[in-house]
Amino acid sequence: MKLGIIGLPQTGKTTLFNALTGKDQPTNASAGRIEVNTAVVDVPDPRVDVLSKMYKPKKTAYAKVTYADIAGLDGSGQGNISGQLLNQIAQMDGLIHIVRCFEDESVPHAAGSVNPSRDIASMNGEILLNDLIVVERKLEKLTEERKRGGTDKVVNARQTELFERLQAILSEDKPLRGMEFTELEQNDLSGFGLLTRKPMLILLNLGEGQALPAVESEHDVPVVDLMGKLEMEISQLPAEDAAMFMEEYSIEEPGLNKMIRLSYDLLELQSFFTVGEDEVRAWTVKRGANAQEAAGTIHSDLEKGFIRAEVVTYEDLTELGGMSEARNKGKLRLEGKQYLVQDGEIMHIRFNI
């Protein structure tokens, strides 16, 4: 799963990317120049740490999230996102909009002043207008196809109805992410890269010690805050020095840990675990995934040859001390293909291929 970090120039996108990923990318990319840096990050999960202490495996693996720092948006408000940039953003499963709140005379704001509410509205308007342009072009194409004839009239009528519905919503300055679509509509929309369909998180980038400003957020997009520069400095310290720094400033955990977990939640993901002496691992599935689909995330053979899943809750396993104890206490269940996996469950897949 991949999250794109976007924002206006000089908002601290790359600073946050470096803080999240431990990278050291230069932070002086200019607006209009399309650059994309990616990195894979472990999702902090204390449950994995506990299970690893229980089993003392040769390997411990956390769930992963990929972040992409995408430079190139200029915030012109014209909805004219270039094809190359649109292609990069369209590949993302979700978006994190970095909004500048810090003052720094050496780093002038692209709009001449720091105004988070204005910048949020500007970015929302930019991507919404881009979607409206895409939808209207599709409707023009469908109209031309009807006039020429020779196309599938049923498909044309269905797609015309769908895109007219999208046009009506976007014209009211509303995003598409709250809409529900049938499987057929999902197929019709694939390849269009409609940005307002993507889940979004707004991250307010504060200066060190800065109080949280009053910010107006449109479209019910969740808002969180971080001191980006401070978090980057902590992330780049040796582990021992970082721990001392956090203790001195009474910081219980890096704000980035919360940020990563929120990113995971934003994509409606959850974790289940496999445990053993060789490996303790967190696996990622969408919420609502069934046991057979979860088996497929481990290996395609497990999905094809799925028989049953042995399932125990994290709480029961850690309280009882192991799978054998959970089985003896009747806490280990056998579940079929359509069982809906719950966050934090430990699973062992029975299969035959």
CATH of the domain at 337: 3.10.20.30
Query: Which pair of tokens denotes residue 285?
Result: 């599935």
In a domain, 55, yes or no: no
Q: What is the distance in angstroms between the CA of the first residue and the CA of the last residue of the chain?
A: 29
The count of other CB atoms within 10 Å of the CB of residue 26 is: 9
In a domain, 272, yes or no: no
pLDDT of 93? 93
pLDDT of 334? 97
Residue 260 near residue 21 (C-beta atoms within 8 A): no
- Taken as a whole, the chain contains a residue count of 353
Cα–Cα distance, 164 to 142 (Å, whole number): 11
pLDDT of 322? 92
**Strands laid side by side in the 94-100 sheet:** 35-42, 64-71, 2-6, 94-100, 200-205, 223-226
**What predicted TM-score, i.e. pTM, was given to this entire model?**
0.87
In a domain, 271, yes or no: no
Cα–Cα distance, 19 to 256 (Å, whole number): 7
Cα–Cα distance, 313 to 149 (Å, whole number): 59
Q: Residue 211 carries which DSSP code? A: P
Cα–Cα distance, 288 to 122 (Å, whole number): 35
In a domain, 300, yes or no: yes
pLDDT of 80? 59
pLDDT of 315? 97
In a domain, 315, yes or no: yes
Cα–Cα distance, 256 to 263 (Å, whole number): 10
Domain count, the chain: 1
By residue range, what is the domain housing residue 301?
288-351
pLDDT of 74? 67
The count of other CB atoms within 10 Å of the CB of residue 293 is: 17
Query: Which pair of tokens denotes residue 108?
Result: 């002038």
Q: Which residue ranges of the chain lie beneath pLDDT 50?
A: none
Strand 64-71 vs strand 2-6: parallel, antiparallel, or unpaired? parallel
In a domain, 56, yes or no: no
Residue appearing with tokens 């780049």: 236
> Residue 111 belongs to what H/E stretch?
none
pLDDT of 33? 62
Cα–Cα distance, 62 to 279 (Å, whole number): 11
Cα–Cα distance, 336 to 347 (Å, whole number): 12
In the three-class reduction of DSSP (H, G, I as helix; E, B as strand; rest coil), residue 94 is classed as strand
In a domain, 299, yes or no: yes
In the chain, the DSSP E strands lie at 2-6, 35-42, 59-61, 64-71, 94-100, 200-205, 223-226, 269-274, 279-286, 306-312, 333-335, 346-351
Strand 346-351 vs strand 306-312: parallel, antiparallel, or unpaired? antiparallel
Cα–Cα distance, 226 to 100 (Å, whole number): 11
pLDDT of 197? 95
Residue 58 near residue 279 (C-beta atoms within 8 A): yes
In the three-class reduction of DSSP (H, G, I as helix; E, B as strand; rest coil), residue 156 is classed as helix
